[in-house]
Chains A and B, each alone.
Chain A
Amino acid sequence: MKINPALKEELKRYLRNRLQSSNKRVVITSPYLMGDQDLRKIQEKFPFLREAKIITEVDKSLIGGFIIKFGSKMIDLSLRSELQSLKQRIYGIT
């Protein structure tokens, strides 16, 4: 199959863009929808979030706090994980 060279260039550029943005894409999950003010506060604390494209998600099961996900990394500052580690400490799993 022959691909039109112009089309190929266009496709390449599109894919490269998407790849780059996915690297900088950050998902912030919180138990309620966050407003701009909340986000700004978080960005102040985490400077690397300033250039990133932020996607917000809502997950009620977090109870409180928030989770920042980028790439395969995760910063977990939610109440749920705190409670979970407390539970584990009580049962002596850790």
Chain B
Amino acid sequence: MALLDQYIKEIEKELTIKPKTKMSADEIGEVIEIKDEVITLSGLDNVAYGELIRFDNGVWAMVIDMLPAEVGAIVLGDYLKIKSGDIAKATGNTLSIPVSDDLLGRVVNPLAEPLDKASKIKSVKMNPIEKVAPGVIYRKQVSESLQTGIKSVDALVAIGRGQRELIIGDRGVGKTTIALDTILNQKGQNVVCIYCAIGQKNSKVANTIELLRTHEALPYSIVVSASASDPATMQYLAPYSACAIAEYFMDKGQDVLIVYDDLSKHAWAYRQISLILRRPAGREAYPGDVFYLHSRLLERAARRDEKYGGGSITALPIVETLEGDVSAYIPTNIISITDGQIVLDGDLFNAGMRPAINVGLSVSRVGGAAQAKAMKQVAGKLKLDLAQYRELSAFSQFESDLDPETKKFLNRGAKITQILKQDKHNTYDLASEVAIIWAATKGYLDELTIPQVEEFEKKYLEDLQLRGKSLLKRINEKRILEEKEEQELKKFVTDNLPSPEVTSSIDQHESSDSPKKN
């Protein structure tokens, strides 16, 4: 009933308003060419780059190309409704999307229209899709860590809030898994997560959404999807639109994590549009501004100074390589833009190393400064051990001929490599990560066999969860390992090491351990 009253009121209001003939000179253009989702129009002499134009049937388009006599525009929506000779009117606006807290937990397309058939999204304000990144004055050094919950990432390639860390690797080696695990680990961390799917299979996006839902990660996440079946224009706009949503939350002072999955498909979409617009093709047929395409997007990730409202956008772009070739055009571009990369290796993946992070090639150029102190304490030793292991691993084939010192390095390296393995969607909190890495770098696992290490890790962490809750809590809060914590950790480690009957050398190990291990 109330709804009916509302309708009647609305209609009455419209009837009482005297219709006035509005007279306005509209800027118009006539469609002369339609090529897929790109249209060419004559007229429109006074439009701006990026301006929205509108057809009489309600279809919108955005001007992205201006030639002396004609204008090129990309259609936002159904381009099949447009016929040659149709008239488009300029609107004087640039493309903006409605943003609000309502977006949390939703699946939207690049125009922020819901794809999940749930209620309409109420908008608080309109954010422009293209925006100039915050300048140097507004920025602050990356100084707070973003825990991914993945041991090898947090220890070796730490990511800070406001950083841009590329995830790169062949198809099917777990790039998306790393990004999604990071999203899952942000539960309760007051981080808004945005997953931007560009040119992906709808089935894969559906799986992702299901994964987020089952792990209760959806309430703090937003999925922006332009799938493979959407027009290239939508795929081109998707990351900018996701970033516009991220900026809304950053403007509120919140930390945002944004995953672009993946930017090589974004470059393909832009290449398609550029070729249709007859722009000169460069290397690999990409247009000349493909670098700027990604640099202006990733530059919008920032950590803003508290003086200017605070907040941060952490970007995890994903790039797919072919046969591990990181020196192709798009990968090198994005590697040079980002603050480091996580390189995933197909060979490692097949050798059972999950996550298949190539520790030698992966770097984080700023995250180390943001790493928690406790992690820094154990990770330094870990890095050193791993570097030595890598150097010597070529000799591991002739193990019998090696001197004891080398053997020790090889042994330690193998155990640490085992420790860095982790099941997918099974994230660790900081204390657990620190506890297990501490045990490995202190040499407590040197005498165990690989399967025993695996067993030990499980038992040890279970025990810590059971009996050492207060210890874990203390490490998580203080984020530092002190003498007292180390003593307690040691107790837990020795309690959980396999009994001497199983490993005969354990006594010997124990006696040689305490004074010497550095």
Q: How many residues of chain A are within 8 Å of chain B by beta carbon?
A: 13
Q: How far is the CB of A20 from chain B (nearest CB, A)?
A: 16
Find the residue from A74, A88, A94 having the highest chain B CB count within 10 A. A74
- B26–A76 touching, CB < 8 Å: yes
Residues of B within 8 A of A5 (CB): none
Residues of B within 8 A of A76 (CB): 26
Q: How far is the CB of B93 from chain A (nearest CB, A)?
A: 13
Of the candidates B23, B43, B56, the one whose C-beta lies within 8 Å of that of A75 is B23
User: Quick check: is A73 within 8 A (CB to CB) of the other chain?
Assistant: yes
- B26–A94 touching, CB < 8 Å: no
Residues of A within 8 A of B87 (CB): 74
Find the residue from B24, B25, B43, B45 having the highest chain A CB count within 10 A. B25
Q: How far is the CB of A49 from chain B (nearest CB, A)?
A: 12
Interface residues of A in 11-34 (CB under 8 A from B): none
For A56-94 the 0/1 string (1 means CB < 8 A from B) is 000000000000010111111100010010001000011
Residues of B within 8 A of A74 (CB): 25-28, 87, 89
* Separation of A19 and B18 alpha carbons in the complex (Å): 43
Q: How far is the CB of A47 from chain B (nearest CB, A)?
A: 14
Find the residue from A72, A84, A93 having the highest chain B CB count within 10 A. A72
Known contacts A88-B58, A93-B58: A72-B29 contact under CB 8 Å? yes
Of the candidates A72, A81, A88, the one whose C-beta lies within 8 Å of that of B44 is A72
User: Quick check: is B190 within 8 A (CB to CB) of the other chain?
Assistant: no
Known contacts A72-B27, A72-B29, A93-B58: A77-B21 contact under CB 8 Å? yes
Interface residues of B in 25-46 (CB under 8 A from A): 25-29, 43-46
Chain B interface residue count: which class?
10 to 19
Q: Which residue of A lies closest to B30 (CB)?
A: A72
Known contacts A84-B56, A93-B58, A94-B58: A72-B46 contact under CB 8 Å? yes
* Separation of A74 and B45 alpha carbons in the complex (Å): 12
Interface residues of B in 3-30 (CB under 8 A from A): 21, 23-29
Known contacts A84-B56, A93-B58, A94-B58: A73-B25 contact under CB 8 Å? yes
Q: Which residue of A lies closest to B56 (CB)?
A: A84
Q: How far is the CB of A30 from chain B (nearest CB, A)?
A: 16
- A72–B45 touching, CB < 8 Å: yes
Of the candidates A73, A77, A84, A88, the one whose C-beta lies within 8 Å of that of B28 is A73
- B58–A73 touching, CB < 8 Å: no
Of the candidates A75, A84, A88, A94, the one whose C-beta lies within 8 Å of that of B25 is A75
Residues of A within 8 A of B24 (CB): 75
Residues of A within 8 A of B27 (CB): 72-74
Known contacts A72-B28, A72-B29, A72-B43: A77-B23 contact under CB 8 Å? yes
* Separation of A14 and B21 alpha carbons in the complex (Å): 41
Residues of A within 8 A of B21 (CB): 77
Q: How far is the CB of A84 from chain B (nearest CB, A)?
A: 6
* Separation of A81 and B26 alpha carbons in the complex (Å): 13
Q: Which residue of B lies closest to A69 (CB)?
A: B28
Q: Which residue of A lies closest to B87 (CB)?
A: A74
- A71–B45 touching, CB < 8 Å: yes
Q: Which residue of B lies closest to A45 (CB)?
A: B23
Residues of B within 8 A of A77 (CB): 21, 23
Q: How far is the CB of A94 from chain B (nearest CB, A)?
A: 7
Q: Which residue of B lies closest to A81 (CB)?
A: B56
Find the residue from B45, B58, B89 having the highest chain A CB count within 10 A. B58
Q: Which residue of A lies closest to B29 (CB)?
A: A72
Find the residue from A73, A77, A81, A93 having the highest chain B CB count within 10 A. A73
Residues of B within 8 A of A72 (CB): 27-29, 43-46
* Separation of A77 and B87 alpha carbons in the complex (Å): 15
Q: Which residue of A lies closest to B24 (CB)?
A: A75
* Separation of A75 and B27 alpha carbons in the complex (Å): 9
For B332-358 the 0/1 string (1 means CB < 8 A from A) is 000000000000000000000000000
* Separation of A68 and B473 alpha carbons in the complex (Å): 75
Q: How far is the CB of A14 from chain B (nearest CB, A)?
A: 20
CB pairs A–B below 8 angstroms (19 shown): A69-B28, A72-B27, A72-B28, A72-B29, A72-B46, A73-B25, A73-B46, A74-B25, A74-B26, A74-B27, A75-B24, A75-B25, A75-B26, A76-B26, A77-B23, A84-B56, A88-B58, A93-B58, A94-B58
| Closest 6 A/B residue pairs (Cβ) | A72-B43, A93-B58, A72-B45, A74-B28, A73-B25, A75-B25
Known contacts A72-B46, A81-B56; 13 further A-B pairs (Cβ under 8 A) = A71-B45, A72-B27, A73-B25, A73-B26, A73-B27, A74-B27, A75-B23, A75-B24, A75-B25, A75-B26, A77-B21, A88-B58, A93-B58
